Amino acid sequence: MRIKKILFISIFSLMCSVNSFTKPLFNENVTKELKENTINLFIGTPFEKNIKKKLEDIEKKYPESHYNHEKKELIHDKQRIVDDEKNIFYRYNEGIYKLFSESTKNWYTFVSEEAHFALYLSEKYEIGLHSDITMVDGHFVESAFFRKEDYKRILEIAKIIDELNSDNKKTLNLNVIRKTKEEYVKENNRMNKKYDELYYLVKDDIFADDSSYGFGSPLGCVLPALSEQSNGLLSSQREWLEFRENEAQMYFILANKDEGVYYGKLFEITKRRTDYLENVIENIKKSEKYKEEQKKLGN
C-alpha cells in the first residue's frame, strides 16, 4: 500500500520505459454482456443529455438578459460548454475506455486508481485533464478524461502497479542508468554553470523576448516553460529542482532504496536540463542581437 501511495503522489516521467502487457485484456470471467453494460454506463446518453440541457438553459436566458455583459457571459459559457463537450466526449470514448481495454484491472479498480493520478497531474501541472463523478457499484468514484498524449504515462503506471502486485516483484524493470554520487555531483555542477550563464544573459531582458532561442523546450517531462523575464527562469528552476527530487525519490523507493538508481535518475534528469540550457545559450549567442550587443561592449 505504501508503494502504491507513493506512485500516485509522485511525478512519473514519460521517459520511463516499460514492457507491454502480457496478461489478457479482460478477465476471462468477464462476460461480453458485462463489458457492453460497462460501455453503456460510462459512455453515452446521460452525458449528452446533461450538455444539451446546459445549452438549452443558456439559450433560454439570453433573450431575457437586458445587459450586454450578461449576454457576453452567456455566449462565453455556451462556447466553453461546446468546446468542453467536444474534448470530453473524445476523451470519454478514445481515452478512458481505450485505457481500460488495455489494462489488466477491473473497471472499479481502474477508474479509482487512474483517476486519482490524473487529478494529481491536472492540479500539479495544469495540463487540462478533466474529471467527473461517476457511480460504480453503488459508490461514487472520480473518473477522468485523458488526452491522447497522456495514454503512455497512464499505461506505464498501470503496468508498474501490476508488476508490484505480481508474485515475482523482482522482475520490475525501471530502465534507469546507475550512477555514483560523484558522477551526479559532477553533472550537477556542469548544469549549475550553464544555468548561471543563461541567467546572466537574460537578467537584463536583452534576449528574453524572442521565442526562437528555444525557451520552453520540452525535457521529456512536464515542466514550466522559461518565462520572458529572468525571474521566470528562477521560478522555472525551482519547479525543476522539486520535480527532480520527487522523481528520484520515487525511483529510489521502487528500487528498494538502491542509491545507484537514485543517483542515476538525478544524473539523467540533470543532464537533460544541462543540454536544454546549453541549447538556449547557443541559440542566443548565434543571434544577431547578441552579436550587436557584443560589438557595443567592444568584444
- DSSP for 13-61, please give it: -TT---PPP-S-SS-TTS-HHHHHHHHHHHSSHHHHHHHHHHHHHHHHH
For residue 293, the surrounding DSSP H or E stretch is helix 288-296
Strand, helix or coil at 171? helix
98 pLDDT tier (thresholds 50, 70, 90): low
Residue 89, C-alpha cell as written in the block: 466526449
What local confidence, expressed as pLDDT, does residue 81 receive?
A: 53
The 10s digit of each residue's pLDDT in 18-65 is 333 333 333 334 344 444 444 444 444 444 455 556 556 656 666 666
Q: What is the DSSP secondary structure assignment for residue 143, as one 8-state letter?
A: E
Distance from C-alpha of 88 to C-alpha of 63, rounded to nearest angstrom: 28
Distance from C-alpha of 279 to C-alpha of 225, rounded to nearest angstrom: 14
The 10s digit of each residue's pLDDT in 146-197 is 444 554 555 555 555 555 555 544 444 566 788 999 999 999 999 999 988 8
DSSP 100-112: HHHSSS-HHHHHH
Report domain extents, the chain: 21-169, 181-291
The 10s digit of each residue's pLDDT in 264-295 is 999 999 998 998 888 888 888 888 877 887 78
78 pLDDT tier (thresholds 50, 70, 90): low
The 10s digit of each residue's pLDDT in 223-279 is 334 444 456 677 778 888 888 888 888 778 777 778 998 999 999 999 989 988 888
What local confidence, expressed as pLDDT, does residue 114 receive?
A: 55
pTM given for the model = 0.43
CB of 178 closer than 8 Å to CB of 257? no
Q: Which residues contact 108 (CB under 8 A, 6 or more apart)?
A: 136, 137, 139, 141
DSSP 72-128: HHHHHHHHHHHHHHHHHHHIIIIIIHHHHHHSSS-HHHHHHHHHHHHHHHHHHH---
* Mean of per-residue pLDDT scores for the chain: 60
Distance from C-alpha of 286 to C-alpha of 289, rounded to nearest angstrom: 9
